[in-house]
Amino acid sequence: MAQEVTPEKKGNRIDYGIILSVMLLALVGMVAIYMAVSHDTSPTIGTPRHAMIMQAVWYVIGGVGIFIVMQFDAEQLWRVAPLLYALGIGLLVLVLVKYDPQVFNNTGAKSWFRMGSITFQPSEVMKPAYILMMARVVSQHNARFRHTTLNDWRLLGEMLLWTLPVLVLLKLQNDFGTSLVFAAIYAGVVLVSGVTWKIIIPVGAGVGVVGAGALTMVTTDWGRAILDKLGFKAYQFARIDSWRNPSGAASSDSYQLWQSMKAIGSGEMTGRGFNNLKVTVPVRESDMIFSVIGEAFGFLGCAIVILLFFLLIYQMIRVIFDTKNEFYAYITTGVIMMILFHIFENIGMNIGLLPLTGIPLPFISQGGSFLLANMLSVGMVLSMRFHHQSYMFSGDNDSFQKQGV
Weakest-pLDDT range from 128-137, 364-373, 395-404? 395-404
Distance in angstroms (rounded) separating the CA atoms of residues 26 and 6: 32
Whole-model pTM over 0.75: yes
Provide the pLDDT confidence category of residue 405 given band limits of 50, 70 and 90: very low
pLDDT, one tens digit per residue, over 202-226 is 988 998 898 888 778 877 777 778 8
* Band of pLDDT at residue 2, cut at 50, 70 and 90: very low
Residue by residue, what is the 3-state secondary structure of 292-348? Answer: HHHHHHHHHHHHHHHHHHHHHHHHHHHHHHHHCCHHHHHHHHHHHHHHHHHHHHHHH
Q: Say what the alpha-carbon torsion angle 218, 109, 371, 164 is, to the nearest 10 degrees.
A: -70
Give rounded-to-5 percent helix, strand, coil for the chain. Answer: 70, 5, 25
**Is the separation of the CB atoms in 379 and 19 below 8 Å?**
no
Most confident of 20-29, 34-43, 106-115: 20-29
Helix (H) / strand (E) containing 100: none
What DSSP character marks residue 7?
A: G
Please enumerate in sequence order all residues whose Cβ is within 8 A of that of 36, keeping only pairs 6 or more positions apart, or say none: 277, 284, 285, 289, 292, 366
Domain boundaries defined on the chain: 7-393
Terminal CA-to-CA distance of the chain, rounded, Å?
A: 6
pLDDT digits (tens, 9 = 90+) for 172-193: 988 888 999 999 999 999 999 9
DSSP class of 118: E
394, containing H or E segment: strand 390-394
Per-residue exposure over 86-124, b if at least 16 CB sit within 10 Å of its own CB, e if not: eebbebbeebeeebbeebeeeeebbbbbeeeeebbbbbb
- The count of residues in the chain is 405
Question: Does pLDDT of 230 surpass 80?
Answer: no
pLDDT tens column, 88-108: 999 999 999 888 888 777 777
Contacts of residue 42, Cβ cutoff 8 Å, sequence gap at least 6: none
Residue 42: which pLDDT band, with cuts at 50, 70 and 90?
A: low
pLDDT-derived band at 45, boundaries 50, 70, 90: low
Do 382 and 128 form a contact (C-beta atoms < 8 A)?
Answer: no
Instruction: Say if CB 361 and CB 290 are below 8 A apart.
Output: yes
